[in-house]
Structure 1
Amino acid sequence: MKTYEVRLDVFEGPLDLLLHLIKELEIDINDIPMAVLTRQYMDYIEQMKDLEINIASEYLVMASELLKIKSFMLLPEPAHLEEDFEDPRERLMEQLLEYQNFKAYANELEKLKAEQDKIFIKPPHELDESEEDQISSLDINDLIEAYQKVKRRIILDVPRAVTVRREVISREEAEHFIFNKFNSKNKIHFTDMFSFNESKPMIVAVFVTILEMIKSKDISISLHDDGNYEFERV
């Protein structure tokens, strides 16, 4: 019979050791050959004694439990098994299956934690009152609504033939578009920001970039009494 060298500090308890032996011996956890498993477990205990390593009491308690179950298994089976006859291994198998499940859950949680540790979140910072009011009262929906209001007042020259293609707009392209609109001016009205012939991807990219530039204080925004927005380079 093949023997297995094991170390105490690898295991978190006797159930962990038993699961290791079951895996190494390729034992069916639902039909444990107690003689084989008990022999390997006791060999392990003896190895620890030979090395003069302190054995935790829980390992010794499990050893006595295994010997007890093994003894029951050696008794001759009754000629007629009663319906309520209980397999002496049942409680041990339930413990092992439950521990195995908890160990699997713990491994999954450890993987999730490792993935979460790769995510870095910007720490919160305090906003002054003007910045807080400005940002909290403005979102992309406000800009879209303003865009739609102005667009409804302008008649577009729509070409008869339209080619639909996928367009990806980068942050740099959106910033270049915005600063081109400022040209040599420091202020620009929202109505001057678009010609209303821009593609939807460009419009969305510009809106998102405007919000990010407001938060980073690269530009500021003010709302006039007539409901029009005005942008200013900071």
Structure 2
Amino acid sequence: MTAYKVKLDVFEGPLDLLLHLIKELEIDIYDIPMKMLTEQYMEYINQMKELELNVASDYLVMASELVKIKSHMLLPEPPMADEDYEDPREQLMSQLIEYQNYKLYAEELNKLKEENQHLFVKAPHLFEDEDDDSTTLELSLNDLLEAYSKVKSRVSLTEDAYVVVRKEEYTKDMAASFIASKFEHKKSMRMTELLSFNEPRNKVVQVFITILDYISQNLYQITLLTEDDFELERLA
């Protein structure tokens, strides 16, 4: 029989090497031909010695175990009626199956880790309910949404027709600075004064969200003037 030449890859241990041999030689892990497996395993050990590589002690321990199992297999099998008979390969098969399952689970976990590296999760945000009788909103949510819709409809679309998905460029801090600059010398202002209606959509949206946040914090008050305009007043 021509010996199977094992490529001297780096294995994680003797069980890893045995699984490699079983796969390459197409051996049934539940019915291991010990003679063939032992010969190929010893061939690998001899190659390591020829290349003057350090053979770890656990590889040598496994080699002696394989020889021991092979010797037991050469003994005559007991009668089938002998219920106490134990296959000398049983412990090795159990170790190999358990290690094989471990490798499969490890590969699945690594695959999940690689997939999760391409996912971005927003950190949880805690919303606190505050009951404040001093908070008075002089218009309904529907009025706000309608006013916002009218404001958004006046914004000219300056971007190309081809949409490119990118990270939001106009942040809440930028919106806060914009509102602060507008109210630096004024206490109240119409929405039509705050925005010139040729602003980018992302800026209009972020400014409007920031205004709503300020209203909820009682920093600003909003009053509906007409069906398409309202006044924003700075309270603090």
**Band of TM-score, shorter chain:** 0.5 to 0.7
1:107 aligns with 2:100: no
TM-score (norm 2): 0.58
Higher helix proportion: 1
Deviation at 1:184, TM superposition (A): 1.9
CA contact (8 A) 2:3 2:40 kept: no
Aligned to 1:3: 4
Secondary structure at the aligned position of 2:66 is classed as helix
TM-score (norm 1): 0.59
Aligned to 1:190: none
Task: Return 16-25 or 78-87, whichever deviates more.
Answer: 78-87
Identity within the alignment, %? 51
Q: Distance in 2 between matches of 1:222 and 1:62?
A: 74
Aligned to 1:50: 50
Aligned to 1:184: 192
Q: Give the residue type in structure 2 aligned to 1:147.
A: L
Structure 1 unpaired stretches of 5+: 125-131, 139-145, 152-172, 188-208
Structure 2 unpaired stretches of 5+: 131-139, 157-189, 196-203, 224-229
Aligned to 2:39: 39
Q: Give the residue type in structure 1 aligned to 2:27.
A: I
Aligned to 1:15: 15
Q: Distance in 1 between matches of 2:91 and 2:150?
A: 67
CA contact (8 A) 2:3 2:43 kept: no
Secondary structure at the aligned position of 2:118 is classed as coil
CA contact (8 A) 1:15 1:99 kept: yes
After superposition, where does 1:114-129 map in structure 2 within 5 Å?
114-120=114-120
Q: Distance in 1 between matches of 2:92 and 2:150?
A: 66
1:222 aligns with 2:222: no
Aligned to 2:65: 65
Secondary structure at the aligned position of 1:104 is classed as helix
Deviation at 1:100, TM superposition (A): 0.4
Q: Distance in 1 between matches of 2:26 and 2:150?
A: 62
Aligned to 1:82: 82
Summarize deviations over 1:81-116 as a string: whole Å, max 9, x none: 411211000000000000000100000111111112
Match of 2:141 among 147, 164, 188: 147
Q: Distance in 1 between matches of 2:30 and 2:45?
A: 24
Secondary structure at the aligned position of 2:82 is classed as coil
CA contact (8 A) 1:214 1:221 kept: no
Q: Distance in 2 between matches of 1:80 and 1:224?
A: 85
Secondary structure at the aligned position of 2:215 is classed as strand
Q: Distance in 2 between matches of 1:117 and 1:47?
A: 40
CA contact (8 A) 2:34 2:66 kept: yes
- Give the length in aligned residue pairs: 171
Q: Distance in 2 between matches of 1:55 and 1:92?
A: 21
Deviation at 1:222, TM superposition (A): 1.3
